[in-house]
Amino acid sequence: MSNTDTLNRTASNAIINAMTVDVEDYFQVSAFENTIDRAQWDSIPCRVEKNTNRILEMFTEKNVKATFFTLGWVAERYPDLVKRIVNEGHELASHGFAHKRVTQQSPKEFREDIEKTKTLLEDISGVQVKGYRAPSYSIGANNLWALDELYEAGYIYSSSIYPVKHDLYGMPEASRFAFRPRGDQGILEIPITTLRLGNKNLPCGGGGFFRLYPYAMSRWALRQVNRTEAQAGMFYFHPWEIDPDQPRQKGISWKTRFRHYLNLGCMEKRLSHLLVDFNWDRMDRIFLQEEIAE
């Protein structure tokens, strides 16, 4: 990290935010699930290893530690990538096996998925997997049973509820900050960061919204959460979002095309600014201090 980076970070909020990466390839996103069959995945050239390695390099350059919510499918094919994530001091967490939304699974199917992925990641890495993030934030008011399954499977926290109103996901009535939906003994849910404006929650935790808004707006919103509400925020993005050269899909709607490809060429530069403008660390070190102490 340069002296300028250090000064910028010192001048920013003392609050430490959580940096997270959803490790999946471009063809595995839910928006393409009706365009690209899972049976085709092994025949498509993967770009996730290269892109994730670039992210790891960026984090090293900026002295940032993060949590990597990793698909079991990716871990199975790129075990050395998983080992690098852990060896470089980042937290390894689960994103399920094959990016199948929880809303498309029965409790039995979900249980098998989360147990299989946890075991796989732990066997490859040699570390405990504490966290889980549902594909496309697909846990909400109608399937909170999934949180019970996660707790029974040995997960300590989930980051699967997005407290916004969206056409594909969201639970706007949920708490905006870490809470236990199933009581004191249940799993800890850590929602994606939003800023309350009027009677609505503004998404400011990354993903497509980070590529949509001007960077200054994203920075302002997260600073409001840190300074005005004195809360740690959480940011997420995907390896494919720093890859403007990824193959373009045909036969998708204009909305899907807009959401997926918008400003991919700007993402790495914006991310570089974000890494300096705020303080970052892993999910477990920010939100699980009490559990770790126990």
> Which of 80-84, 213-217, 249-253 shows the lowest mean pLDDT across its residues?
249-253
- Give the span between the Cα atoms of 131 and 70, in whole angstroms: 10
* pLDDT of 294 strictly over 50: no
Half-sphere exposure of 249 (CA within 13 A, CB side): 23
pTM higher than 0.85: yes
Q: Is the pLDDT score of 3 beyond 80?
A: no
Question: Hey, is 196 helix, strand or coil?
Answer: strand
Q: CA angle at residue 101 from 97 to 107, to 5 degrees?
A: 85
In one-letter notation, the amino acid at residue 13 is N
pLDDT in tens, 259-290: 899 999 999 999 999 999 999 999 999 999 76
* Topology (CATH) of 3-293: TIM Barrel (3.20.20)
- Cβ count near 135 (within 10 Å): 28
pLDDT band at 116 (very low <50, low <70, confident <90, very high): very high
Give the tens place of pLDDT for each residue, 159-184.
Answer: 999 887 766 665 888 899 999 987 77
**Of 28-32, 153-157, 261-265, 287-291, which one has max mean pLDDT?**
153-157
For residue 1, the model assigns a pLDDT of: 44
Mode of pairing for the β-strands spanning 200-203 and 194-197:
antiparallel
Q: Give the residue extent of every domain in the chain.
A: 3-293
C-beta of residue 234 within 8 angstroms of C-beta of residue 20:
yes
3-state SS assignment for residue 56: helix
Condensed to tens digits (0 to 9), the pLDDT of residues 220-241 reads 999 999 999 999 999 999 999 9
Pairing of strands 188-189, 194-197: unpaired
